[in-house]
Amino acid sequence: MKAAGRLDDLREAYVRNHPESCARHERAQAWMPGGNTRSVLHFDPFPLVIASGRADMLTDVDGYEYIDCAGEFSAGLYGHSDPVIVAALHEVLDNGLVLSGPNTAESELAELLCRRFPSLERLRFCNSGTEANLFALLTAIDATGRKRVLVFEDAYHGGVLTFAGGGSPMNVPFDFVTASFNDIESARASVKRHEDDLAAILVEPLLGAAGNIPAEAAFLAMLREEATRCGAVLIFDEVKTSRLGRAGLQGHYGIVPDMTTLGKNISARACPLAHSAARGP
């Protein structure tokens, strides 16, 4: 049988075996564009609708079970029912959900993170990695009195800060300058060309959406040197990479940015924005 015919058979079997996922997806499209809130989760003819998860397994609404190899794109590293996490969640539920004031947990977590990451002196919690990066950029723009931001091709810093294929019409209207990732000379030239109005350099130490490309140590060291020289704020987006080591990739490389955005350590909602005074390498 030709490959195209086999693919058609598999597609038909998928539709036949997942009627409830199909029905729920069709209903969802009436209220959400594409039927969900994350475009990356969609695939044709319709995505699976997940009913529950336990340990490393998922169950869809049609009763099929799957090994969860995605781990919520690494935001769910501990699976779906780790007893320590479940116990902590029950404790939170028992003590109340919205306390309308400072609580004990946030300051304790802030202290733990500041002790782990070399760049962190003060920390602010927010709602997402996207929001953390927006706050970091706005802080850098306000602190420097400058407007321009250097980013890198194919980088992803959130739903309104994506730079694949030259950028997105959904991006926030900041004054972006784009350079090639891991290209020391072109990035250095971009910094020098815009240094008088450069507020920030925003970089992922591992270019995630482009295929998890690690930054070269010399490339990050150059960015640290150039940011210090021209007075721009060097921001490491470690929303994805903060759990790749006790001090994230900044600890691995031994390069200290001026600001760091973190998140996804336990869930997509655990996204603190952390910042420090400017410092050299």
The residues carrying an active-site annotation are 156, 237, 264
CA 140, 142, 143 angle in degrees (round to 5)?
65
Beta pairing, strands 57-60 & 65-67: antiparallel
